[in-house]
Chains A and B, each alone.
Chain A
């Protein structure tokens, strides 16, 4: 049998011979087409990078890019962001926008991350299958609500009926109709479903043998959940936190509706602020002169936003992928 070389075999089974056939051509065409569909995602990424980089970092000779006009040092050290002001008063320092984004992300993290993790622990360790089957769709519903609805909720319900009565009337602090707190709270609510479902997957992937070992050593249910399950799923949980935080960094509408103000270097949650996303939306609502520094500043801000969120996403994807390998 082994002595029958390839030539013999082709002779005996003519269908294996690589002759021209319409069938095979068609198959190859289809495979090529499908491959192009898959390649489109790479093209999308490359074009995002191309668009942002050509406007912000390097551009073809007749045009100048943003960082050729404004130095990197000024961009990251200047504390005023006033690209829409009159010519001589323009300053391009991204710190106020970063500060606003940090404030929103911080508040949302304080609310969304613990709440999401608690729900995940409850659903994976404590809840009965019936409760789970009730809660999961509700969480999906919460995740499916458009961000603009959260924005409306923050501006028209949360601020007038909760934040103003508590902070203005009880503590006598000054709160306006727009404040970072309302935006941060709703973004926090928004990331709860994401943290909950991602963390729950991670918690449920922890093998039962670990839990049983814990019980055998006399642990209570709390000991098992808090000292065995959560620590062994920690990397996955942190990855889900990172993913959620990157979402609140990129969140636009809820914040734009509830918190829009002047760019300011403040960490007071009762102030109106401006984030990177709010700036982009605000500028794009008016007419932007093509080729102006204002237009290029949009791309520079978008580039910073893209790099930050992409970095966070990549780290958490890598951690999640490794985590899956460990337990499966």
Chain B
């Protein structure tokens, strides 16, 4: 009996040791991956140090490392994200509202839901191929692009069909890419709105749309905005689809050739023309710099990465700010 107890005791000690070792292993893995994040950021920061100047932000691209700048990519990325937001947000929120508020659980609804979660997992490069065929080439509709001039009364702009490698093609591709993410996030935000709110509104005689428009959407807005910004910041860092579209990585001019804010105000036509102009984007420029093995470009690409990360941090910061600020105001 005593012998048995002894055996059990020893086994228990071993089991506890094993447990502790396992706990430490898990803890170590967790902190190691956090440490990796720090190494990653510090390593890039060190490479970029001294190269991230004001001139870098305002110059166009160049073949000489010391004279390379990111302004074309920065403006291209801002145009892309702006247009993507204009297209993706109404479509995504609309789809989410339909699925959460209107749809009955039919087979079609289930199919759409399953399809959305599958689309979220499709590799971004496949979206690139889709965008290339549908927007850039338009299924090879015409052998040679045909030019159209469109007048809006006070300004004129021209575009080609098929669209070619322009900002709109890129933005449309990024829209398709980020739609599933936006829909899923918006659905979660809508689901978090308590049903009592809807019931109260409907009981007071509001129609379905009035309920959605004036009660549900405002209540879900912080959550939707957070999801939208996160999805857009993911789209901002996407390189592969734009590369597949054939966007010019080496371009050194801003879309629409807008020289500054005053130029944009005095020549509004340029603002309308910009979406139909060639473009580059921050990640594309980084890629072309990383691929360039000549001296100095590893620093330039690091500086470009820092700019990209700063833009992402600003966007994510906005999302967190919105979440914090509006969550406090709403009390059910």
- A residues adjacent to B (C-beta < 8 A): 23, 26-27, 30-31, 33-42, 44-45, 47-48, 51-52, 55, 114-115, 118-119, 121-123, 126-127, 135, 138-139, 141-142, 144-153, 155-157, 189, 192, 220-223, 225-226, 243, 246-247, 249-253, 256-257, 277, 280-281, 284-285, 290-291, 298-299, 302, 305-306, 309-310, 312-314, 317
Contacts and interface: CB of A to CB of B under 8 A. Distances in A.
B271 to A, nearest CB: 27
Residue of A26, A152, A284, A298 ringed by the most chain B CB atoms within 10 A: A152
Contacts of B207: 23, 27
A314 B33 contact: no
B174 interface: no
19 contacts: A33-B94, A35-B102, A37-B92, A41-B119, A42-B115, A44-B130, A114-B29, A119-B29, A126-B27, A148-B237, A152-B290, A152-B305, A221-B23, A250-B124, A252-B123, A280-B128, A306-B126, A314-B114, A317-B117
Contact of B209 (A30, A47, A247, A313): A30
Contact of A222 (B22, B97, B287, B290): B22
B125 A277 contact: yes
B118 interface: yes
Interface in B79-98: 90-92, 94-95, 97-98
Say what secondary structure dominates the interface of chain A: helix
A146 B239 contact: yes
B30 A250 contact: no
A221 B117 CA distance: 35
Interface residues of B, number: 86
Return the 10 tightest CB-CB contacts between A and B, nearest first.
Answer: A250-B123, A146-B237, A222-B19, A37-B94, A122-B26, A34-B98, A313-B121, A252-B240, A37-B95, A118-B29
Interface string B273-302: 000000000010011001100000010011
Contact of B130 (A47, A115, A121, A156): A47
A281 B121 contact: no
A273 B116 CA distance: 33
Contacts of B312: 144, 146
A167 to B, nearest CB: 20
B161 interface: no
B56 to A, nearest CB: 16
Contacts of A221: 19, 23
A126 B165 CA distance: 51
Residue of B15, B26, B119 ringed by the most chain A CB atoms within 10 A: B26
A34 B132 CA distance: 27
Contact of A146 (B123, B127, B283): B283
